[in-house]
Amino acid sequence: MQISPPSLDGQLRLSNLALAVADLPKMVNWYQSVLGFKVDTEGEFPIVGARYAVLEGAGLRIELITRTGANFRPVDRSPPPFHLSQLGWKALVLHSEDLKTTTAVLRAHDVEICWAEEKTTEHLKSTLIRDPEGNFINIFGPLQDD
């Protein structure tokens, strides 16, 4: 009889998502001014020579982290759907009950918009944007909010 190793079911919970960035102050400012996130904590991780800021908003905690003097490799900027050929996390996905207004606010901030208010499923549409360093943020909203 083979005994299965123990499971971690119920042992873990989400703490935050971590995003490596090149320009920490610029990215903190963008996530605050455009998406409305607030800084919760800031600090350093001496073990990896990094500085970080943990932001809270939209029911999430996002850790923006950077290594001083690092030789950064840029984000893959393949356009959709070709971005799905590169393995790894694809997008921060958010939801808005009023996608039309959300999209208008993003336009007012001159955010890079890949598509705006496009029908993605029978019940949803989305606006796909990039943050200043090229990371995708996909914002879904109900199809009938016109």
Q: Closest by alpha carbon to 88, among 75, 102, 103, 105?
A: 75
Q: Does 58 lie in the same domain as 92?
A: no
Question: What pLDDT does residue 38 have?
Answer: 98
Mean pLDDT computed over every residue of the chain: 95
**Domain boundary pick from 25, 50, 69:** 69
Q: Is residue 121 part of a domain?
A: yes
Question: What pLDDT does residue 2 have?
Answer: 85
For 50-62, what is the mean pLDDT? Answer: 97
Q: Does 84 lie in the same domain as 35?
A: no
Which tokens hold the place of 37?
Answer: 């996130």
Our CA dihedral for 90, 63, 37, 95, rounded to 10 degrees, sits at 30
- Convert the pLDDT of each residue in 12-39 to its tens digit: 999 999 999 999 999 999 999 999 999 9
Question: What pLDDT does residue 146 have?
Answer: 54
Question: What pLDDT does residue 22 have?
Answer: 96
- Cα–Cα distances (Å) from 100 to 29, 34, 79, in that order, read 24, 15, 23
Q: Does 100 lie in the same domain as 56?
A: no
Please tell me the total count of domains within the chain. Answer: 2
Q: Does 134 lie in the same domain as 88?
A: yes
For residue 4, give the H/E element and its range.
none
Question: What pLDDT does residue 66 have?
Answer: 97
Q: Does 89 lie in the same domain as 64?
A: no
Q: Does 144 lie in the same domain as 83?
A: yes
> Which range marks the domain in which residue 134 is found?
79-146
Question: What pLDDT does residue 82 have?
Answer: 94
Question: What pLDDT does residue 69 have?
Answer: 86
